[in-house]
Structure 1
Amino acid sequence: MILFDLKGRVAIVTGGNRGIGFAVAGGLAKAGAAVVIANRNADAGQKAALTISNKGFKATAVSTDVSEKSSVANLVTRVVEDFGRIDILVNSAGVIDRGPVEEFSETQYDYIMDINLKGLFFCCQLVGKEMIKRGRGKIINISSNVSEVIQAGRVVYAASKAGVSHLTRGLALEWARHNINVNAIGPGPTITELNRKYFEDNPADLQERIDSIPMARVGDPQDLVGAAIFLASDASSYVTGQTLLVDGGSTIW
């Protein structure tokens, strides 16, 4: 359908070398977008871009540390120089650390907030300036369903994702006059490289998550692709400031 066609669009996907970010990058490329994967590990980014390119789609990579504003500025400059514009930004770079609040260190706290919230803000701010110049754009922030419901042991992570959802609403309000749609996707428990080992080592925790999901399974990164294409395309031109929960119904109750 033409509403979901991304041909001619340029998309940046942070954290696009693996997991949800890689799935979304591949989906946007398949829908026609030229995708730029931005992540810290240059080799991993190039490998991910090559995997997508080898399928006949457009993808490249720029090594980027989203927690460093100068690195994000370099990314934006490179993409504008190479492609002339930025139509879509997907903020998928994210980390998690677990533990009791009373034992959580400042280093652990900063690690989560620097990437999940501060880095996301830098990306929105600097890409947003380019979108404002053009009078249009689509920003998609990867939040989490724990922005809506709290889980023990993930309090700081949940706080970072609640910040993402609230920042999404604030940016949507400020930039609506520039025809920039800012939305978020809130995945439920989704098996990726980020958490696979944890769940393998903690099967009881995994089963507890599954038991709390009406659809009785955890998510796969591909489950997020349709939502991302919708929010990146003209099909969502009147949707802004929303967090679309893709969690198998786990926040119903």
Structure 2
Amino acid sequence: MTEPTAVPGSRVLVTGGAAGIGAAIAARCRADGYHVAVIDQKPVPGGVLADLSDPDETAAALDTVLADGPVTRLVNNVGLVRPAPVEAQTLSDMDAVLALNIRLPLQCLQALLPGMKEAGHGRVVNISSRAALGKQERSAYAASKAALIGATRVWALELGRHGITVNAIGPGPIQTDLFTRSNAPDDPRTHALLQGIPVGRVGTPEDVAGATSYFLSDGSGFVTGQTLYVCGGLTIGAAPL
């Protein structure tokens, strides 16, 4: 039996889809019936290997994905955190974080846009962060994720007439290796953060995947330029940022 041919408009690209939130999003997309392409520096079955901090490697990986046909749904998920107090925030770390967290989403969107415009349909979901609202020791990360929210609004304004929606998701505390590395469990600030979550639990990657599923769906066509905080109510709670 031959593998089914991808139906035009049913392909999704997830950056950083090999682990954590990205892996949960990729799994949910498959469950929703999409053909999923993943670009990551970690191997994943059927994925494309690339160092997404390198524009040339990224371009080559995007060419590989698009060789199989247009992709009209994009999840800009991959991200980089380099925590440091402001006086210790290095310019090299700032450059690295901005390159991966805001340059890469633009590069991916530009590569996929011709296919979206030709189809007259597109869905773009940018994974930002609640840290965009401000978080200690996150000068580079918060700035990059706030920039992604700003870009989301601009792209929504420019692309809506082409049937393309662009939305952002701002995850709060999500139980991933990245969260644990960046928020030490024995740090009092981490404890205060987790104690302040109104729903009384830490989020899961599947929580973010569920929100992403809606924004990727055909039924979300009248929603664009929005940021949805998947944070258990922490954004409106009493916990410190």
TM-score clears 0.5: yes
Match of 1:224 in 2: 208
Tell me which residue corresponds to 2:3: none
Deviation (angstroms), 1:15: 0.5
The aligned amino acid for 1:207 is: H
Distance in 1 between the 2:29 and 2:129 partners? 20
Q: What is the CA distance between 1:105 and its match in structure 2?
A: 0.7
Instruction: Report the CA distance between 1:66 and its aligned residue.
Output: 2.7
Q: Tell me the residue number matched to 1:15.
A: 16
1:91 match? 76
2:60 matches 1:74:
yes
| Deviating more after overlay: 149-158 vs 237-246 | 149-158
- Equivalent pairs, count: 230
Structure 1 segments of 4 or more deviating over 6 A?
none
| C-alpha deviation, 1:200, in angstroms | 4.7
Q: Match for residue 57 of structure 1? A: none
1:56 corresponding residue in structure 2: none
Instruction: Give deviations 1:156-185, integer Å, cap 9, x for gaps.
Output: 211110001110110111111111111111
**How far off is 1:198 after superposition?**
4.2
Partner of 1:246: 230
How far 1:205 moved relative to its partner?
2.9
* 1:182 lines up with 2:166 in the alignment: yes
What's the TM-score once normalised by structure 2's chain length? 0.89
1:45–1:62 CA contact under 8 A, matched in 2: yes
CA contact (8 A) 1:145 1:247 kept: yes
State the alpha-carbon separation in 2 of the partners of residues 19 and 62 from structure 1: 17
Contact 2:72 2:123 in 1 (8 A): yes
| 8 Å Cα contact 1:72-1:126 kept in structure 2 | no
Q: Give the Cα separation in 2 of the matches to 1:184 and 1:129.
A: 21
Aligned residue among 90, 96, 102 for 1:117: 102
1:53 alignment counterpart: none
Q: Any conservation in 2 of the 1:16–1:45 contact (CA below 8 Å)?
A: no
**1:18·1:193 contact (CA, 8 Å) conserved in 2?**
no
Who is 1:55 aligned against?
Answer: none
Q: Map 1:126-141 onto structure 2 (within 5 A).
A: 126-141=111-126
Whether contact under 8 Å (1:11, 1:87) holds in the other structure is yes
**Corresponding residue for residue 64 of structure 1:** 50
1:26 is matched by which residue type in structure 2? A
Cα root mean square deviation, aligned: 1.7
In structure 1, what is the Cα distance between the partners aligned to 2:196 and 2:60?
43
1:80-127 per-position Cα deviation (integer Å, ceiling 9, x unaligned): 222x21021101110111111111111111121111111121112222
Counting only pairs closer than 5 Å after superposition, residues 188-227 of structure 1 correspond to structure 2 as: 188-227=172-211
Q: Deviations over 1:122-151 (max 9, x none)?
A: 11222223312322111111001122x211
Amino acid at match of 1:111: A
Q: Does 2:90 match 1:105?
A: yes
SS at match of 1:13: strand
After TM superposition, give the deviation of residue 199 of structure 1 in Å: 3.8
With normalisation by structure 1, the TM-score equals 0.85
* Aligned amino acid, residue 172 of structure 1: A
Q: Structure 2: any 5+ residue segments left out of the alignment?
A: 1-5
Q: State how far apart, in whole Å, the 2-side matches of 1:102 and 1:199 are.
A: 19
Identity among equivalent pairs (%): 37
1:223/1:102 Cα in 2 relative to 1: closer, same or farther (>3 Å)?
same
| C-alpha distance in structure 2 between counterparts of 1:73 and 1:203, whole Å | 40
Task: State whether residues 122 and 165 of structure 2, in contact with CA within 8 Å, keep that contact through their aligned partners in structure 1.
Answer: yes
Ranges in structure 1 where 5+ consecutive residues have no aligned partner: 1-6, 50-59
Contact kept, 8 Å, 2:81 with 2:182, in 1: the verdict is: no
